[in-house]
A and B are shown apart, each in its own frame.
Chain A
Amino acid sequence: MTTMMSIEDLHVKFATPFGSLEAVRGASLDIPAGMSVGVVGESGSGKTVLCRASMGLLSGSNVQREGKVVFDGKELTAMTRDQVRNEFGTGMAMIFQDPMTALNPVRRIGTQISESLRVRLRMDGKAARARSAELLSLVRIPDPEAMLRKFPYQLSGGMRQRVMIAIAISCNPKLLFADEPTTALDVTVQAQILQLLSDLRRDLKMSMVLVTHDLGVVANHTDFVAVMYAGEIVEQAPTIELFANMKMPYTEALLNSIPNIEMKSGARLKAIEGRLPSPVDRPTGCGFVTRCSYALQKCHDEHPPLVDAGNGHLYRCWFPLGHTIARKQ
């Protein structure tokens, strides 16, 4: 199994008026070629920053990035901005969360899709237009010719997200980042878009990183999962292994908090009380200690290292689920 992208010990810090804020703290993740990797976590867990930093999309004097990112055999972290830019479109592409704001409201759909074709693939206007129509039918938009002439405001959220996907796959990228591609959409449209992404990934032989806060989405559409909490990857495993053999109390809590269609109606949900610790004031021990129902003194004092449980299953917990030490609850 070849690796499309490998992220090694990535740290991302932002300088803020409150001090240095470490959004990603030493994340390591391999994205195998042709596979789909889910990155799951709550808002503020660092999942979007992880993706953007790996792609080299974060820049500015207040951003500090450490670690190594290797994409398709090339070390992105050692490249200049222009060299990294060269990889966009044909190498890596991204679908953003909000299809309402990611499209330019004053340009026609056709112009927006053909832009990358003309710039990246040096197509002429006519060829780019023909290819744009093809891409629109690939993302299952009926009547692509008519769609090319429309403006984003004329489309529903689901249709806009399809257009975003068409733009992202326009130059046949090897790796597609999808950052919460369905969070702003209805459940029925979400099901359609996720199916579309899975089909495209298979047909175009892409690798994909699917960022989401919903473990339900991850279960059916990924091969591997990385769970993020407070800037760290706290558990990662092949999807089947993760759901069968969870180690982190956080992953379990996240799963339990999902309203399940099979639960008894009127049953109380198992919410995770509290919220993520502030990134400028994180606990010294385990990041999840403030909300973990199993936490012991050791969890407060010492930061848990990444433990390898075999089968590609890694986790960060002193007392993983199924551990023999008596728990508080």
Chain B
Amino acid sequence: MSAGDIAFVIVLAVGTFAAIRLVTSRNVVRAALYLVVTLATVAASYILLGAEFVGWVQVLIYVGAIVVLVLFGLMLTRAPIGRDTLDNQQRGVAAAVAVVVLAGLAYLVLDAFGGVRFAVPATKVSEVGASLFSGYVLPFEVVSVLLLAALIGAVVIARKDERDDAATQGEPRGAARGART
């Protein structure tokens, strides 16, 4: 076993533990913090694979931005804590499906690539940049437009409609809404 193998086994163990705790935790904030650990182990695996740029992008976007977004979402929605309110009654079926998926994937992976070893090439950031801006310019631009659309869409969906509120004042839309105001 080489040093890379040992490091990868550690990443695999930590990632597995954190992912399982993430989907079984009974506290939503704790689940979000396990999400940080899981995403960080994924970033570590990118770096162990020599994909430095993707690894740091993972740290910046996932650990930096998406987790903060999820935590804000958790803060804005009051979520009850406890097993019955967080999990539904299909736990057994879900666990069976997940185990079958895992067994199938693991069998396929070990069958096809069980003994394959390879020397990790170090990908330079300049190579990624050159490839991104030569062969993949069009998808890059499309993705930027998609991000803009998502940004505007999220703002439009999540903001409070002031005119609507003024129009329906006095006759709340539902019982829950009336109870709150």
Are these two chains actual partners, yes or no? no
